[in-house]
Amino acid sequence: MLETFTLRLVLGMLATLAVLPQEVPPRFFRIHLLIALGLITLAGVVAWSNEAALYWLGLGLAGASCFAGTWFWLGEAHRIGLVPVVLGTVSVAMALGATANASASLPWSVLEHGSAALQLGLALTAMLLGHYYLITPGMSPRPLVRLTVLLMAVIVLRAGIVFAKHWTVGHSLSAPGAFVEKWLWLSLRWLAGVLAAGVFAVLAWRCARVRSTQSATGILYAAVICTFLGELAQLLLDNSPYAPAGKTP
């Protein structure tokens, strides 16, 4: 479960780099790739018993791409530096595919992993970018505004996918304590991961529009925490003993 969460986060972080405007300094890309490399290493440590060759192939290629990408962004900003970013994104998606539920259809797996990855990656990247305004106060607020707009859109998309999943997939409540446990995680999933995260994304967007970047950063801290809690709660629901096996959209 933890490797799935980690890989979704890395996938979203790398995909987000591709939509950043050119005014973002290359140092931000380099640091972001190093963070992604650390998370890829964590995904390897927690899944050391995974025997899927595709998982380790994707993980190795992703790590190599992130490491190579740090060299591409050593000098001036150049769009060729996005090549290792794209390669890393594809490689992480490959490793993530090796962890997918075998009973789930391919389109549903893409929607499930993709929407979760984008919300995680956009929230964390926007928060880290907000911090970067401390050392580059003259940078345009356009990158932060763009990320918060995308975050709002992705939260709406993610909410629709989660609703469809919860509506389609039932849970057995015959196990002792199953009812309480299910509604505990469902409440956290919706109240934190969708409702609170969405409200914080809107507030951060409004602050970024008026160049109040540090206020936006503080709000994005809360958005990251809520997003993390919501996605972890969803994974706990998916891996709970009362989740029906083989019943996926």
Domain spans in the chain, listed from the N-terminal domain onward: 1-99, 104-249
Task: List the Cα angle 169/247/122 in 5-degree steps.
Answer: 60
Mean pLDDT of the chain: 85
Query: How far is it, in rounded angstroms, from Cα 238 to Cα 101?
Result: 10
pLDDT of residue 73: 86
**Range from 13-17, 115-119, 138-142, 154-158 carrying the lowest mean pLDDT:** 138-142
Contact 109, 101 (CB under 8 A): yes
What's the residue count for the chain? 249
pLDDT of 111 above 90: no
* 244 pLDDT tier (thresholds 50, 70, 90): very low
* 174 pLDDT tier (thresholds 50, 70, 90): very low
pLDDT of 170 above 60: no
Query: How far is it, in rounded angstroms, from Cα 225 to Cα 200?
Result: 11
Q: Which residue has the higher pLDDT, 40 or 48?
A: 40
Which residue, 237, 165, 153, is CA-closest to 202? 153
pLDDT of residue 25: 87
pLDDT of 150 above 70: yes
Q: Which residue has the higher pLDDT, 166 or 228?
A: 228
* 65 pLDDT tier (thresholds 50, 70, 90): very high
DSSP label at residue 81: G
Q: In the CATH scheme, what is the code of domain 1-99?
A: 1.20.120
Q: Which residue has the higher pLDDT, 33 or 186?
A: 33
Which residue, 145, 142, 147, 143, is CA-closest to 123? 147
In this structure, the number of other CB atoms found within 10 A of the CB of residue 241 comes to 9
Q: What is the DSSP string of 16-61?
A: HHTTS-TTS-HHHHHHHHHHHHHHHHHHHHHTTT---HHHHHHHHH
Calculate what percentage of the chain has a pLDDT beyond 70: 87
Q: Which tokens go with 85?
A: 């970013």
Query: How far is it, in rounded angstroms, from Cα 101 to Cα 239?
Result: 10
pLDDT of residue 175: 46
The whole-model pTM stands at: 0.88
**Range from 82-86, 131-135, 173-177 carrying the lowest mean pLDDT:** 173-177
pLDDT of 249 above 70: no
Contact 56, 49 (CB under 8 A): no
Query: How far is it, in rounded angstroms, from Cα 121 to Cα 104?
Result: 23
Q: Which residue has the higher pLDDT, 179 or 172?
A: 179
Q: Which tokens go with 208?
A: 């970024």
* 122 pLDDT tier (thresholds 50, 70, 90): very high
Residue 222: phi and psi, rounded to 5, are -65, -40
In this structure, the number of other CB atoms found within 10 A of the CB of residue 16 comes to 27
pLDDT of 83 above 50: yes
Number of H helices, E strands in the chain: 9, 0
